Amino acid sequence: MTEQLEEYILAHIDPEPEHLRRLDRDTHVRLLYPRMCSGHLQGRLLKMLVRMVNPTDVLELGTYSGYATQCLAEGLTRDEAHVHTIEIDDELEDFISEHLAQSPVRQRITVHIGDAVDILQRLERHFDLIYIDANKRDYLAYYDLAMAHLVPGGYIIADNTLWDGKVADTASHDAQTRGIREFNDRVAADPRVERVILPLRDGLTIIRHCDENSHF
Protein backbone atom coordinates (compact mmCIF):
# COMPACT_ATOMS: atom_id res chain seq x y z
CA MET A 1 0.00 0.00 0.00
CA THR A 2 1.68 3.19 -1.16
CA GLU A 3 0.83 6.59 0.28
CA GLN A 4 -0.52 7.64 -3.12
CA LEU A 5 -2.82 4.61 -3.34
CA GLU A 6 -4.02 5.11 0.23
CA GLU A 7 -4.90 8.73 -0.52
CA TYR A 8 -6.80 7.58 -3.61
CA ILE A 9 -8.79 5.03 -1.58
CA LEU A 10 -9.67 7.56 1.13
CA ALA A 11 -10.86 9.98 -1.53
CA HIS A 12 -13.24 7.37 -2.96
CA ILE A 13 -14.92 6.01 0.17
CA ASP A 14 -17.38 7.59 2.59
CA PRO A 15 -15.85 10.64 4.26
CA GLU A 16 -14.62 10.47 7.84
CA PRO A 17 -17.16 12.12 10.17
CA GLU A 18 -15.86 15.30 11.78
CA HIS A 19 -16.18 14.00 15.35
CA LEU A 20 -14.06 10.98 14.40
CA ARG A 21 -11.52 13.21 12.68
CA ARG A 22 -11.15 15.15 15.92
CA LEU A 23 -10.88 11.90 17.89
CA ASP A 24 -8.17 10.57 15.58
CA ARG A 25 -6.21 13.82 15.90
CA ASP A 26 -6.50 13.87 19.69
CA THR A 27 -5.47 10.22 19.86
CA HIS A 28 -2.26 11.01 17.98
CA VAL A 29 -1.53 14.08 20.11
CA ARG A 30 -2.48 12.89 23.59
CA LEU A 31 -2.16 9.10 23.78
CA LEU A 32 0.67 6.61 23.59
CA TYR A 33 0.68 4.17 20.65
CA PRO A 34 -1.73 6.19 18.42
CA ARG A 35 -1.27 3.69 15.63
CA MET A 36 -3.69 1.49 17.59
CA CYS A 37 -6.48 3.81 16.46
CA SER A 38 -8.50 2.19 13.67
CA GLY A 39 -8.63 5.28 11.47
CA HIS A 40 -10.69 6.33 8.47
CA LEU A 41 -10.51 3.29 6.17
CA GLN A 42 -10.87 0.57 8.79
CA GLY A 43 -13.52 2.59 10.59
CA ARG A 44 -15.69 2.79 7.47
CA LEU A 45 -15.22 -0.96 6.92
CA LEU A 46 -16.30 -1.75 10.49
CA LYS A 47 -19.42 0.35 10.04
CA MET A 48 -20.20 -1.46 6.78
CA LEU A 49 -19.67 -4.91 8.32
CA VAL A 50 -22.05 -4.07 11.16
CA ARG A 51 -24.63 -2.91 8.60
CA MET A 52 -24.26 -6.24 6.79
CA VAL A 53 -24.52 -8.42 9.91
CA ASN A 54 -27.31 -6.25 11.38
CA PRO A 55 -26.65 -7.29 14.99
CA THR A 56 -28.58 -6.44 18.12
CA ASP A 57 -25.80 -6.97 20.66
CA VAL A 58 -22.19 -6.04 19.86
CA LEU A 59 -19.17 -6.55 22.11
CA GLU A 60 -15.78 -4.89 21.75
CA LEU A 61 -12.76 -6.21 23.65
CA GLY A 62 -10.25 -3.36 23.86
CA THR A 63 -11.71 0.16 23.57
CA TYR A 64 -8.47 2.19 23.48
CA SER A 65 -9.56 5.72 22.41
CA GLY A 66 -13.05 4.61 21.30
CA TYR A 67 -12.66 5.23 17.56
CA ALA A 68 -13.65 1.72 16.46
CA THR A 69 -16.33 1.70 19.16
CA GLN A 70 -18.12 4.63 17.56
CA CYS A 71 -17.76 3.12 14.08
CA LEU A 72 -19.36 -0.12 15.28
CA ALA A 73 -22.22 1.87 16.81
CA GLU A 74 -22.68 3.88 13.60
CA GLY A 75 -23.52 0.70 11.74
CA LEU A 76 -26.36 -0.33 14.06
CA THR A 77 -29.85 -0.17 12.54
CA ARG A 78 -32.12 -1.95 15.03
CA ASP A 79 -33.78 0.34 17.57
CA GLU A 80 -32.65 -1.83 20.47
CA ALA A 81 -29.13 -2.47 19.14
CA HIS A 82 -26.23 -1.60 21.44
CA VAL A 83 -22.43 -1.80 21.74
CA HIS A 84 -20.78 -2.91 24.97
CA THR A 85 -17.06 -2.10 25.00
CA ILE A 86 -14.54 -3.26 27.60
CA GLU A 87 -11.24 -1.49 28.36
CA ILE A 88 -8.90 -2.71 31.09
CA ASP A 89 -6.77 0.48 31.27
CA ASP A 90 -8.61 2.84 33.61
CA GLU A 91 -6.27 5.69 32.65
CA LEU A 92 -8.10 5.89 29.32
CA GLU A 93 -11.53 6.33 30.89
CA ASP A 94 -11.54 10.16 30.94
CA PHE A 95 -10.33 10.38 27.33
CA ILE A 96 -12.96 7.91 26.14
CA SER A 97 -15.74 9.68 28.04
CA GLU A 98 -14.70 13.11 26.78
CA HIS A 99 -14.97 12.12 23.13
CA LEU A 100 -17.97 9.87 23.58
CA ALA A 101 -19.89 12.85 24.99
CA GLN A 102 -19.43 14.57 21.60
CA SER A 103 -20.54 11.56 19.57
CA PRO A 104 -23.91 11.29 17.82
CA VAL A 105 -24.00 7.57 18.70
CA ARG A 106 -23.19 7.94 22.41
CA GLN A 107 -26.60 6.57 23.48
CA ARG A 108 -25.83 3.27 21.73
CA ILE A 109 -22.56 2.65 23.62
CA THR A 110 -21.83 1.45 27.15
CA VAL A 111 -18.20 1.58 28.29
CA HIS A 112 -17.02 -0.91 30.91
CA ILE A 113 -13.65 -0.39 32.60
CA GLY A 114 -12.08 -3.51 34.05
CA ASP A 115 -11.34 -7.17 33.37
CA ALA A 116 -13.36 -8.68 30.52
CA VAL A 117 -13.99 -11.99 32.29
CA ASP A 118 -15.50 -10.31 35.34
CA ILE A 119 -17.56 -7.86 33.30
CA LEU A 120 -19.00 -10.52 30.99
CA GLN A 121 -20.04 -12.60 33.98
CA ARG A 122 -22.05 -9.61 35.22
CA LEU A 123 -23.56 -8.84 31.79
CA GLU A 124 -24.87 -12.41 31.39
CA ARG A 125 -25.58 -12.11 27.67
CA HIS A 126 -24.45 -13.40 24.29
CA PHE A 127 -23.51 -11.27 21.30
CA ASP A 128 -24.18 -11.31 17.58
CA LEU A 129 -20.84 -9.68 16.75
CA ILE A 130 -17.63 -9.43 18.78
CA TYR A 131 -14.67 -7.22 17.85
CA ILE A 132 -11.30 -8.18 19.35
CA ASP A 133 -8.61 -5.49 19.52
CA ALA A 134 -6.94 -5.97 22.89
CA ASN A 135 -3.60 -7.25 24.22
CA LYS A 136 -2.05 -9.35 21.46
CA ARG A 137 -0.34 -11.66 23.99
CA ASP A 138 -3.77 -12.78 25.15
CA TYR A 139 -5.56 -13.16 21.81
CA LEU A 140 -6.03 -16.88 22.28
CA ALA A 141 -7.74 -16.34 25.64
CA TYR A 142 -9.90 -13.60 24.10
CA TYR A 143 -10.91 -15.96 21.29
CA ASP A 144 -12.05 -18.61 23.76
CA LEU A 145 -13.90 -15.94 25.73
CA ALA A 146 -15.54 -14.58 22.59
CA MET A 147 -16.66 -18.01 21.40
CA ALA A 148 -18.24 -18.66 24.79
CA HIS A 149 -20.31 -15.48 24.44
CA LEU A 150 -21.14 -15.63 20.72
CA VAL A 151 -24.55 -16.67 19.41
CA PRO A 152 -24.65 -19.51 16.84
CA GLY A 153 -24.18 -17.92 13.42
CA GLY A 154 -22.53 -14.88 15.00
CA TYR A 155 -19.36 -13.12 13.90
CA ILE A 156 -15.98 -12.32 15.43
CA ILE A 157 -13.76 -9.64 13.88
CA ALA A 158 -10.14 -9.65 15.08
CA ASP A 159 -7.71 -6.82 14.40
CA ASN A 160 -3.91 -6.91 13.91
CA THR A 161 -3.82 -10.56 12.83
CA LEU A 162 -0.89 -10.06 10.43
CA TRP A 163 1.10 -8.00 12.96
CA ASP A 164 3.32 -6.09 10.54
CA GLY A 165 3.97 -9.33 8.69
CA LYS A 166 5.79 -10.80 11.70
CA VAL A 167 3.40 -13.78 11.82
CA ALA A 168 5.07 -15.12 8.67
CA ASP A 169 8.61 -14.25 9.81
CA THR A 170 10.16 -17.26 11.54
CA ALA A 171 12.77 -14.97 13.11
CA SER A 172 10.13 -13.10 15.13
CA HIS A 173 9.63 -14.65 18.56
CA ASP A 174 8.37 -11.78 20.75
CA ALA A 175 5.38 -12.42 22.99
CA GLN A 176 2.93 -10.37 20.92
CA THR A 177 3.85 -12.14 17.68
CA ARG A 178 3.56 -15.51 19.41
CA GLY A 179 0.14 -14.53 20.74
CA ILE A 180 -1.14 -13.62 17.28
CA ARG A 181 0.35 -16.76 15.71
CA GLU A 182 -1.32 -18.97 18.34
CA PHE A 183 -4.61 -17.20 17.71
CA ASN A 184 -4.34 -17.58 13.92
CA ASP A 185 -3.43 -21.27 14.25
CA ARG A 186 -6.36 -21.95 16.59
CA VAL A 187 -8.84 -20.17 14.33
CA ALA A 188 -7.52 -21.96 11.23
CA ALA A 189 -7.99 -25.36 12.91
CA ASP A 190 -11.34 -24.66 14.58
CA PRO A 191 -14.08 -26.77 12.91
CA ARG A 192 -16.78 -24.59 14.46
CA VAL A 193 -16.02 -21.56 12.28
CA GLU A 194 -15.50 -20.17 8.81
CA ARG A 195 -12.72 -17.60 8.52
CA VAL A 196 -10.95 -15.20 6.17
CA ILE A 197 -8.03 -12.83 6.71
CA LEU A 198 -8.13 -9.45 4.98
CA PRO A 199 -4.72 -7.78 4.41
CA LEU A 200 -6.13 -4.42 5.47
CA ARG A 201 -3.73 -2.27 7.50
CA ASP A 202 -2.31 -4.76 10.03
CA GLY A 203 -4.62 -7.64 9.14
CA LEU A 204 -8.30 -8.11 9.90
CA THR A 205 -9.77 -11.60 10.40
CA ILE A 206 -13.50 -12.18 9.95
CA ILE A 207 -14.80 -15.32 11.66
CA ARG A 208 -18.30 -16.78 11.42
CA HIS A 209 -19.58 -19.27 13.98
CA CYS A 210 -21.36 -22.00 12.05
CA ASP A 211 -24.72 -22.70 13.64
CA GLU A 212 -26.21 -26.20 14.01
CA ASN A 213 -28.08 -25.88 10.72
CA SER A 214 -24.97 -25.03 8.71
CA HIS A 215 -23.74 -27.45 6.05
CA PHE A 216 -20.14 -26.31 6.59
CATH, domain 3-209, list 3.90.79.10, 3.40.50.10070, 3.40.50.150, 3.30.70.980: 3.40.50.150
Q: pTM of this prediction?
A: 0.95
Among 109, 91, 105, 88, CA closest to 30? 91
Q: Considering only CA atoms, which of 159, 54, 43 is closest in space to residue 103?
A: 43
As a whole number of angstroms, the distance between CA 31 and CA 15 comes to: 24
Contact 70, 39 (CB under 8 A): no
DSSP tag of 114: S
Question: 167 — phi, psi (to 5°)?
Answer: -60, -25
Domain ranges of the chain: 3-209
Q: pLDDT tens track of the chain, all 216 residues?
A: 789 999 999 999 999 999 999 999 999 999 999 989 999 999 999 999 999 999 999 999 999 999 999 999 999 999 999 999 999 999 999 999 999 999 999 999 999 999 999 999 899 899 999 999 999 999 999 999 999 999 999 999 999 999 989 999 988 789 999 999 999 999 999 999 999 999 988 999 999 999 665 443
Residues with Cβ within 8 Å of 14's Cβ and at least 6 positions away in sequence, in order, are 44
Other CB atoms within a 10 A radius of the CB of residue 53 amount to 17
**Alpha carbon distances (Å) from 11 to 41, 94, 202:** 10, 32, 21
CB 42 within 8 A of CB 201: yes
Q: Which residues contact 87 (CB under 8 A, 6 or more apart)?
A: 62, 63, 64, 93, 96, 111, 112, 113
Q: What are phi and psi of 193, to 5 degrees?
A: -130, 160
